[in-house]
Structure 1
């Protein structure tokens, strides 16, 4: 009987510690921070690296959260929906770009407010956007341009330029 009581008390302590860590992780992650606000959306040609729950930042300060991502079936553009804290009213000519936290970090939405007197209303779309940049493509372009691009005199007269797509041989 005595060992059952000890085991029950140890189990209760373990549960209390687990609940404490769960509450700590919930508040530290900003999930319950109350950054509700109003929803806006933006279209991008590329939305690489964005995740639902990711940050929306203005001047490096988090003002919102990415809530949804979808693909427009007609234009194949990435549509990203996000919330902005209602304390921050954004002008209609605001620009949004996908920025990187660093070489190994994730991406976030960077908001650059415009100068218009008219403010965006909930549900509106931001017109000025800049999609993500593929780092591997940039490195490839830098290497390609540093080596002369393969368009030198040795390529031959009728050879297709190296930077254009040519059909595969049959």
Structure 2
């Protein structure tokens, strides 16, 4: 019986070591440590789905990381703090939009550089922004617009497809 307990303990330890190895590998390769670089901020009306650690992308390439989200108590807008790699300069008319990676989620901050020759200084604020779009709101508007269209057609006496049987 002592051999059986020792074997179970060794098997349990082996499982824990393997699990710790997978965890260490996942943390090392996930990119969750952030991208070192210059800090910037932007204000949005909504930041649904965006969280600390989300990607900051330019032309689909990860160039930074979201480092914080807060609320401005004077304007009631969401302030997003983020970093951008040191080798990337942002024109002063750069725009930022919260974009969804897929229908299942995975929002990120998309930067679109402008054409200005003046560059944002580290710690600067991106002023041209577009907040996140709620999929639920879009579906609700679509459903109500279809309902209004159908009820409008019925009120205007449009044929419903059930003819009287007479041919022209």
Q: Establish whether TM, by shorter chain, passes 0.5.
A: yes
User: In the TM superposition, what is the alpha-carbon distance from 1:150 to its structure 2 partner?
Assistant: 9.2
Runs ≥4 residues deviating over 3 A: 2-16, 149-154
Aligned to 2:128: 128
Deviations 1:75-94 (A, max 9, x none): 11000001111111111100
Distance 1:144 1:18, change over 3 A: closer
TM-score between both structures, scaled by the size of structure 1: 0.77
Question: What count of residue pairs does the alignment treat as equivalent?
Answer: 152
Distance 1:7 1:104, change over 3 A: closer
5+ residue gaps, structure 1, are: 155-170
1:49 aligns with 2:43: no
CA RMSD of aligned residues (A): 2.6
Counterpart-to-counterpart distance in 1, 2:13 and 2:142: 60
User: In the TM superposition, what is the alpha-carbon distance from 1:13 to its structure 2 partner?
Assistant: 4.5
5+ residue gaps, structure 2, are: 156-168
Aligned to 1:73: 73
Distance 1:150 1:8, change over 3 A: closer
Deviations 1:23-82 (A, max 9, x none): 2111221134x6210110000011111011011111111111111100111111000001
